[in-house]
């Protein structure tokens, strides 16, 4: 039985708009009330304006009023499981703190980390 959060991230890949890279990513974020917010990567012809699945899920969740999060899952079809990019690590850290992050692929391979392990010395609001 697949964890519903990981399954939501896998399902979200189906909506990826990735005409340039063909690299489909899904993300799912669990809020403190148990709600699940999903996202997929949305690419742009300028490339640089592409938004990753993790940020889409997180900004959707914030825009719907969620403020506290327990876990995030990231799904892509790679054998070496895809971790979040640097920009997403910064934003997940700022908005979610040291949450659990699960990586998964469609064959059910999973790895679980904490954000502090992936992003060990962050710049954040405490420095301002
Ligand atoms: N991408 C994500 O959506 N999340 C990640 O964690 C890594 C990269 C997307 C961005 C782009 O659409 C494609 O994957 C290739 O970089």
pLDDT of residue 64: 97
Instruction: Compute, in angstroms, the gap from residue 122 CA to the centroid of ligand 1.
Output: 21
Report long-range pairs for 120-128 (Cβ below 8 Å, ≥24 apart): 122/89, 122/90, 122/93, 123/90, 124/93, 124/94, 125/94
pLDDT of residue 1: 85
Instruction: Compute, in angstroms, the gap from residue 25 CA to the centroid of ligand 1.
Output: 6
pLDDT of residue 13: 98
For ligand 1, what atom is nearest to the CA of residue 84?
A: 6
Of all protein residues, the one whose alpha carbon is nearest to atom 14 of ligand 1 is 23
Written as tens digits, the pLDDT of the chain (128 aa) is 899 999 999 999 999 999 999 999 999 999 999 999 999 999 999 999 999 999 999 999 999 999 999 999 999 999 999 999 999 999 999 999 999 999 999 999 999 999 999 999 999 999 99
Going by their DSSP bridges, the two strands 36-40 and 25-31 should be labelled as: antiparallel
pLDDT of residue 98: 97
Instruction: Compute, in angstroms, the gap from residue 127 CA to the centroid of ligand 1.
Output: 29
User: Would residue 54 show up in a list of annotated catalytic residues for this protein?
Assistant: yes
State if pTM tops 0.75: yes
Q: What is the DSSP string of the chain?
A: ---HHHHHHHHHGGG-B-TTT---EEEEEEETTS-EEEEE-B--TTSTT-B-HHHHHHHHHHHTT---EEEEEEEES-SSPPPPPHHHHHHHHHHH-S-EEEEE-TT--EEEEEHHHHSSS---GGG-
For ligand 1, what atom is nearest to the CA of residue 83?
A: 6
């Amino acid at each position: 039985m697949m964890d519903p959060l990981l399954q939501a991230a896998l399902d979200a890949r189906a909506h990826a708009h990735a005409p340039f890279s063909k690299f489909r990513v899904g993300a799912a974020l669990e809020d403190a009330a148990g709600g699940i917010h999903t996202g997929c990567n949305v690419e742009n012809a300028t490339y640089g304006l592409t938004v990753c699945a993790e940020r889409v899920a997180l900004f959707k969740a914030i825009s719907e009023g969620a403020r506290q999060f327990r876990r995030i899952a990231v799904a892509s079809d790679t054998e070496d499981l895809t971790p979040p990019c640097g920009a997403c690590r910064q934003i997940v850290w700022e908005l979610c703190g040291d949450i659990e992050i699960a990586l998964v692929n469609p064959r059910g391979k999973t790895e679980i980390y904490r954000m502090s392990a992936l992003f060990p010395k962050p710049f954040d609001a405490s420095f301002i």
